[in-house]
Structure 1
């Protein structure tokens, strides 16, 4: 989740964008308003209608400014609920109808404020998946799905306590907590671990050891 200072900075940026997007209607030089402000003049009434139509259509506004503000509002709402990766936010904004250019502009702004940070997201993701008992292969797949290269994540995997021995222990603990019920206990244990994201070598060893300890 984003902290209060980051959210305040982003809200200020949104307000600036919305201010820039507000059209300023002015009369043309040499075309003074009548004393009644044009309220009774068909000529000025018609011109006012034309201008109102232009405002509604977005004419005269900085191109994309309003859409970027809207995209930033959506980003703020989502990251205030939970950490999000840049790629997942991009996908969601496009799905909601924001243009590619608007989406990238909004994401650049959000990243520059520190509201969106893939390194921070990766750290949160890894820690939460380890706590859920997920294996390293599954964690890395999920990082790739979010367009994050696991090799670029600081400290992965060793500083997160992930190595061959520790992962084998975690796999066995997982099977103890949620033992397979199928008749082929070893095969079932192996499939269960692979589905949980453990590397096949770890899953194979853990399934064999667990089946030997729990023959029936």
Structure 2
């Protein structure tokens, strides 16, 4: 089995796709053959995959062996309704064999695969499975992407505890955006006090990759 990293987040629209692309570029710069998988994408309308197409363009730039890859090759399951997969699929069971086949095909041309989840850890996939369960299913290391705005302490610690409770090895990356200047005043002091290593997506992607690869 190749190295697998599952990118998750404290919620939706936190920066998973942005972070995934940075991981692909950083690992590729180290001479690794990278691949990317988004097992399930919702909000796919008229054949337009908002996240999948961004990821496809990026991975082709990073790994020439994937030049013939289609968007369906990295997004094996898609739904038009922009909602949790459980809702978007009309409560149907997910075809895990389809996901497995896509991942196996990718790993034929890759040393490492970045797997991007949908939404946060407790987004329901089907009747029995939450997004967090996919991380263990793939035997992957997790990268939890969190935000830098007010409330990030609570959101970060809750999601980290969920991963710890399931004994999932993980790293945490803060995706600070324009307008998050208050982070250093309202949140960073607490993390500093408890000895929490704040790694930022834009500033520390090399260190983040080191931590993930060695877990």
> Shorter-normalised TM-score: what interval?
under 0.3
TM-score by length of 1: 0.26
TM-score by length of 2: 0.27
Higher relative contact order (Cα pairs below 8 Å, separated by 6+ residues): 2
Q: Greater share of helix residues, 1 or 2?
A: 1
Larger radius of gyration: 1
Q: Greater share of strand residues, 1 or 2?
A: 2
